[in-house]
């Protein structure tokens, strides 16, 4: 790589935008050090010899005449062992390291590398000297922690060729562990660490349609609006509707092997909450601490706005790197609206022609570009391993108004829509995902897998439940006009059963140790029990039973407590069916008498 260091002089400072002259030789999107403090910035426009730079730190005290030095490389992340369990800022600086240098407050011009360059890692080769390798070939592994096997790959920009050496042992991330000799005789050194520019997606062989479900342990999502591994979803909602709690729940319980959580322009205390909670929680699939499979990117709302713009790209590049190893990775971005606002702010400073709501006209393209980096891919190399990257973005539209340009641009690209409603949050129904407006376009993809895994009846049960809820919403309109008395017994039963589905199935308490995560088996049993209740009572009503009597029976109470039955006592749910049959039979006997 030929690095050319261009040096220029600041001519203008306006907030996070700095203009520097004498920069004709600089490349677009190169990282530059700005001013005497050496603030980190990125070139976003060039006009003859003037470079327009967005600076990732506050620019107070910077003025014309100070120097700007280009680093000759675009904004990149360091990828290698040492990423796991770390909390970074928007441009991959570890916050822990920053606190060691500058104390409790983040000061400016701090330079820290993304991964530890001193630490030695035990490298275990998996190919031998003389092997033919390609970009993406896995040459060995570092056990990063108890959960994550960190595979060392030939970087995508390396040539294919023959391994002339490969060493087992302990290395820092910058030491050479293997050497490739390409066909043209050139040698390429492989290290534990590679670098990749954040604004370019990492290459793969091909994309595949997602066919496996990303199980989240959240009933309303898993049952009604599932997301596939490699899929995309968005969660728009007004404040207080529980976006962040949903994102946290997914970060905790989604069955991805690796989680990247991007806190983009949100609250500092929320990141602290994640930092405190994750190490305490146990991953249901590995039995290890959840922190071991998590990487956090925190660029809170009060941290510099340009770095917020970069944070989701930093996050997704790290996620892609692990996807390339063949992992199922999930990325949560909370919130993409804040990212879009950062984009808008920079656009305003550049004096670009604004589009809708002052957002730049390229908003839609950028959003699409971000979500399109998700997917189920066949990775580079010859072993045809699959990796998936699922992306779930929260959107915070002003006043919860879904006509917001960020929401609309997002809905054009994502396949799953979990619409949060303030009316539900108002009634303290959480997760406040609307069962009427939300949708998932993945169910057909994953149907086969789910039916094989859970029960062949599942798809039908799901349809029935959704239909009941739909009917309920129509009936409620009628009740509002003419009162519940005017409904037929059958319709009143629909209302009653829908209530059970809403309150005892869809409502899920994120703060209860048991209810916070529901396995597929438990979920199936819960819905099965409620639908059994529906079938039995439909028969009952045909034979003269009244809906009012139904609400008095014990089984209703037991259905309500179903969600608090622990995973190891699921047979208790089966017993409820017996009690339903028995009680309805008693009611019918009473009718006959």
The contact pattern for another protein, residues 446-485, with x = CB under 8 A and - = no contact, is -------------------------------------x--
| 399 lies in the site for another protein, by CB under 8 A | yes
Pick the closer one to another protein by CB: 277 or 451: 277
- 3-state class of 429 per DSSP? coil
Question: Which one among 4, 5, 24, 99 touches another protein, defined by CB under 8 A?
Answer: 99
Burial 330-343 (b: 16+ CB within 10 A, else e): bbbbbbbbbbbbbb
Q: How far is 263 from 334, CA to CA, in rounded Å? A: 5
| 348 lies in the site for another protein, by CB under 8 A | yes
In this structure, the chain runs to a length of 593
Given a contact cutoff of 8 angstroms between Cβ atoms, the answer to whether 11 and 44 are in contact is: no
| 113 lies in the site for another protein, by CB under 8 A | no
Question: Which one among 1, 2, 185, 269 touches another protein, defined by CB under 8 A?
Answer: 269
Task: Give the strands of the sheet with 176-182, arranged side by side.
Answer: 132-133, 161-166, 176-182, 187-191
Site residue total, another protein (CB under 8 A): 65
Pick the closer one to another protein by CB: 63 or 209: 63
| 589 lies in the site for another protein, by CB under 8 A | no
Distance of CA 107 to CAs 101, 267, 299, Å? 9, 19, 14
Write a three-state SS string for 248-280: HHHHHHCCCCEEEEEEECCCHHHHHHHHHHHHH
Q: How far is 36 from 394, CA to CA, in rounded Å? A: 38
Least distance to another protein, CB of residue 133, Å: 39
β 232-236/386-395 pair status: parallel
The contact pattern for another protein, residues 295-334, with x = CB under 8 A and - = no contact, is ---x-xxxx-x-----------------------------
Given a contact cutoff of 8 angstroms between Cβ atoms, the answer to whether 432 and 243 are in contact is: no
Q: Which helix (H) or strand (E) holds 577?
A: helix 571-592
Question: Which one among 320, 341, 376, 504 touches another protein, defined by CB under 8 A?
Answer: 341
Least distance to another protein, CB of residue 97, Å: 9
β 149-153/176-182 pair status: unpaired
The contact pattern for another protein, residues 146-185, with x = CB under 8 A and - = no contact, is ----------------------------------------
Given a contact cutoff of 8 angstroms between Cβ atoms, the answer to whether 461 and 443 are in contact is: no
Q: How far is 290 from 255, CA to CA, in rounded Å? A: 11
Question: Which one among 103, 185, 287, 456 touches another protein, defined by CB under 8 A?
Answer: 103
Question: Which one among 11, 27, 165, 581 touches another protein, defined by CB under 8 A?
Answer: 11
| 338 lies in the site for another protein, by CB under 8 A | yes
Which range, of 54-62, 408-416, 533-541, 580-588, touches another protein by CB under 8 A? 54-62
| 551 lies in the site for another protein, by CB under 8 A | no
Chain contacts with another protein (rule: CB under 8 A):
11-15, 19, 58-65, 87, 95-96, 98-99, 102-108, 238-240, 263, 265, 267-269, 271-273, 275-276, 298, 300-303, 305, 338, 341-342, 344-345, 348, 351, 354, 357-358, 396, 398-401, 426-428, 483, 511
């Amino acid at each position: 790589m030929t690095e050319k260091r261009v040096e220029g002089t600041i001519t203008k400072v306006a907030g996070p935008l700095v203009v520097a002259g004498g920069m004709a030789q600089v490349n677009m999107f190169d990282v530059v050090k700005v001013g005497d403090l050496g603030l980190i910035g990125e070139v976003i426009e060039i006009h003859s010899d003037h470079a327009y730079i967005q600076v990732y730190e506050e620019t107070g005290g910077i003025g014309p005449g100070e120097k700007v030095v280009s680093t000759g490389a675009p904004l990149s992340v360091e990828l290698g062992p040492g990423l796991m369990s770390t909390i970074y800022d928007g441009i991959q600086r570890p916050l822990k390291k920053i606190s060691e240098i500058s104390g409790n407050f983040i000061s400016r011009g701090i330079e820290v590398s993304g991964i530890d360059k001193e630490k030695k890692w035990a490298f275990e080769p998996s190919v031998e000297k003389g092997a033919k390798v390609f970009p993406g070939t896995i040459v060995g592994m570092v056990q990063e922690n108890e959960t994550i096997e960190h595979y060392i790959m030939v970087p995508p920009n390396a040539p294919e060729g023959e391994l002339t050496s490969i060493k087992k042992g302990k290395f820092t991330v910058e030491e050479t562990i293997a050497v490739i000799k390409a066909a043209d005789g050139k040698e390429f050194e492989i290290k534990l660490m590679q670098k990749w520019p954040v604004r370019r997606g990492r290459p793969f062989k091909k994309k595949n349609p997602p066919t496996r479900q990303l199980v989240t342990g959240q009933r309303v999502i898993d049952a009604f609006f599932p997301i596939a591994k490699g899929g995309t979803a968005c969660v728009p909602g007004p404040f207080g509707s529980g976006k962040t709690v949903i994102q946290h729940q997914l970060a905790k319980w989604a069955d991805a092997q690796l989680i990247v959580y991007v806190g983009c322009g949100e609250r500092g205390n929320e990141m602290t909450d994640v930092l405190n909670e994750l190490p305490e929680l146990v991953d249901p699939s590995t039995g290890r601490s959840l922190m071991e499979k998590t990487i956090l990117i925190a660029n809170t709302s009060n941290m510099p706005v340009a770095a917020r713009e970069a944070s989701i790209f930093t996050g997704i590049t790290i996620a892609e790197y692990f996807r390339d190893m063949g992992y199922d990775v999930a990325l949560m971005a909370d919130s993409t609206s804040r990212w879009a606002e950062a984009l808008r702010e920079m656009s305003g400073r550049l004096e670009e022609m604004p589009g809708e709501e002052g957002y730049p006209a390229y908003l839609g393209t950028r959003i699409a570009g971000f979500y399109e980096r998700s997917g189920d891919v066949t990775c580079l190399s010859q072993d045809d391993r699959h990796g998936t990257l699922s992306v779930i973005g929260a959107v915070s539209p002003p006043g919860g108004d879904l006509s917001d340009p960020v929401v609309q641009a997002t809905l054009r690209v994502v396949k799953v829509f979990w619409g949060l409603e303030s009316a539900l949050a108002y009634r303290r129904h959480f997760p406040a995902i609307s069962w009427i407006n939300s949708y998932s376009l993945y169910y057909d993809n994953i149907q086969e897998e789910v039916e094989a895994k859970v029960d062949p009846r599942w798809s039908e049960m799901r349809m029935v439940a959704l239909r009941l809820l739909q009917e309920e919403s129509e009936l409620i309109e009628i009740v509002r006009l003419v009162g519940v008395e005017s409904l037929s017994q059958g319709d009143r039963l629909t209302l009653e059963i829908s209530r059970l589905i809403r309150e005892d199935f869809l409502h899920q308490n994120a703060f209860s140790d048991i209810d916070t995560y529901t396995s597929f088996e438990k979920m199936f049993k819960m819905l099965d029990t409620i639908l059994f209740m529906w079938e039995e009572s439909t028969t009952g009503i045909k034979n003269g039973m009244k809906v009012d009597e139904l609400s008095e029976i014990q089984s209703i109470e037991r259905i309500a407590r179903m969600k608090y039955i622990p995973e190891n006592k699921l047979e208790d749910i089966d017993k409820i069916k017996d009690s339903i049959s028995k009680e309805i039979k008693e009611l019918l006997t009473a009718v006959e008498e």
